[in-house]
Amino acid sequence: MARDARATGRDVTPPRPVLVPVGVGAAYARPGEAQSCYLVRVADRAIALDLGSGTLNRLQQHLPPERLAALVISHLHPDHCVDLLALRVYLAWGPGRGNAPLRLLGPPELRRRLMDFGGSERWDEVMRFEELTGDAGERDLGDGVTLRYRQVPHLPPTFALRVEAGGGAVCFGADCADNDALPALAAEADVLLCECSFGAAEVPDGVPHLNGVQAGGIAARAGAGRLLLTHCFPEQDRDAALADARRAFGGPVQWAVQDETVAA
């Protein structure tokens, strides 16, 4: 229908993005939690952000992975990208075989690391690697969907990611310490998805992660519409972290829940 509208010369505005958390766990997770993966849908286009352990199986409950318009990896810690190894097998020899290569965006070392661990066979046949470089940038994901990214302090380079369409925006902060880059990228985003590894506890010195107070402060500085907390270690007090984030933000805050859709 959108193609017909373009043919008639009418302006076609894509719908606003919808966020579906696929996996919300930290580097080790609670029973039933998969690691990092967030599906952003814009009409019939779907973009996945990260693919940590256990998420390929869960992603298939939402769509066949070969139907993704793009897959974006925020950084090279395994809890954010390890299921790419299984995805390679799925696309090369499993149900996804025979399709066009999947567009895969991520840090410059991603392709080499995957091949070092999993061998070099078939990667370039099933995935089209595209490097995210520099401190910040943007990429066209097609049909009016834009990816913006910006480096945040964690494993260098780690990219916070923002998906925009139809005047709406979902921003994913990846893993990071408290910083000014994320509020700038997340400015006036409808939904800010922010890690809260340490819950209501103090973040140890030199550890590049956040707690509830810091996540709420980032959302407040960004002027975000809604804050979703995620990526919390199992032993942390999540109720206390939620209360801390709400006080620091002053807007709506909740925990990201696997498979629970959030509209921008």
Q: Would the pTM of this model clear 0.85, i.e. be above it?
A: yes
Residues 6 or more apart in contact with residue 26 via CB below 8 angstroms: 35, 79, 195, 197, 231, 232, 233, 234
Kindly state the DSSP code that residue 118 receives in the 8-state scheme.
Answer: H
Token pair listed for 197: 């590894």
Average pLDDT over residues 24-45: 97
Neighbours of 225 (CB within 10 A): 16
- Contact at 8 Å (CB) between 244 and 212? yes
Cβ burial, residue 251 (10 Å; 0-12/13-18/19+): middle
Q: Which residue has the tokens 């709420």?
A: 216
Q: What is the pLDDT of residues 37-89, one digit of tens each?
A: 999 999 999 999 999 999 999 999 999 999 999 999 999 999 999 999 999 99
Average pLDDT over residues 6-27: 81
Burial 157-178 (b: 16+ CB within 10 A, else e): bbbbbbbbbeebbbbbbbbbbb
- Contact at 8 Å (CB) between 165 and 173? no
Calculate the average pLDDT of the chain.
Answer: 95
Looking at 28-177, list the stretches that DSSP marks H as alpha helix, in order from N- to C-terminal side. Answer: 55-59, 78-81, 84-93, 110-118, 123-126
Q: What is the pLDDT of residues 89-132, one digit of tens each?
A: 999 999 999 999 999 999 999 999 999 999 999 999 999 999 99
